[in-house]
Amino acid sequence: MIFTRRTVANPVSFTGLGLHTGVPVELTIHPGEDGIAFRYGSTRTEATPDNVTDTRRSTKLGEVGTIEHLMSALAGLEITDAEIELTAPEIPAMDGSSLPFCQGLRGVGMVELGEKELPSLYSRIFLQELPLKIAVGKGTGHWRYEYETGDRWPGSMHFESTSIIDAYETEIAPARTFVLTEELPMIEQYGLGKGLTRESVTILGEAGFDNEARFPDEPARHKLLDMLGDLYLSGIPARFLNVVGTRNGHTANVKMAAMMHQAVNTKKAGC
């Protein structure tokens, strides 16, 4: 596969509170020419599956937590190179979605850096750890996520896009992170979600949404948003993939990203 490398035309900054820590943070995305990397303090960490250090409730890369919403925006806008600098060790929550990142990145514009070639995925890659499943193969940007909660509302919900890049900014990026009402005591007990408000999280009650949803299937859309961000750690542009995920979260996503990364880089080394 041959694709165009892109970076931001100018630096762009975002401020807010870390999604889980609630710590104030300023994040600045600088133009780059050497892939995507995060810098906190004196440490520069490349955005690859090997550098993931935690996947409990979010994806942590080196010392930097909750990278998935920003990585999703970069994937959706097909930005391949960026140097990302932070003043605290967690990405700001913003409004719980990827939309503010998309808007900021669009605002400063993008420049092309030339073409890059990677081997294609010639066979599908499967990960199955029931009840979760992920299937990834060479394709045209057809992505689907199936969110299931058993007997609890909403039971079964899915979102599907036949052209993920074209649909990303309007149909996927605005979907916010969500929580089940019965999870709220645990989240408070463990000191999570300190950077979120009722406006930046979708709350799933026992029979429906407890606050206003942006989409009737917002949880499924957000899970696809997360999956896109995590799988972009593989370095493979989303438009070249067909992906189906069922009940998978960050741990399974990162495992799949590692399998994808290994598949294309093994072929590249053997060429």
The CA R_g of the chain, rounded to the nearest whole Å, is 18
Residue from 4, 2, 239, 237 nearest 114 by CA: 4
CB atoms within 10 A of CB 182: 11
The pLDDT of residue 15: 98
The pLDDT of residue 80: 99
The pLDDT of residue 269: 57
Are residues 27 and 13 in contact, defined by beta-carbon separation less than 8 angstroms? yes
For the four alpha carbons of 90, 95, 98 and 101, in that order, the dihedral sign comes to: negative
Global pTM value: 0.96
Looking at 20, 69, 250, 261, which residue is catalytic? 250
Q: Which domains does the chain have, with CATH numbers?
A: 2-121 (3.30.230.20)
Catalytic, 142? Answer no
Q: At 224, which helix (H) or strand (E)? A: helix 218-231
The pLDDT of residue 17: 97
- Rounded to whole angstroms, the Cα distance separating 160 from 143 reads 6
Strand partners, 157: 147
Helix (H, G, I), strand (E, B) or coil at 227: helix
DSSP letter string over 47-96? SSGGGEEE-SSS-EETTBB--HHHHHHHHHTT---EEEEESSSB-B-TTS
- Rounded to whole angstroms, the Cα distance separating 146 from 133 reads 10
The pLDDT of residue 123: 84
CB atoms within 10 A of CB 269: 8
What are the residue ranges in the chain where pLDDT is below 70? 267-271
Strand partners, 44: 39
The pLDDT of residue 270: 53
> Please, which residues have CB within 8 angstroms of residue 213's CB and are 6 or more apart in sequence?
202
Residue from 193, 167, 169 nearest 180 by CA: 193
The pLDDT of residue 228: 99
**Residue reference for tokens 């929580």:** 179
Strand partners, 13: 28
The pLDDT of residue 154: 96
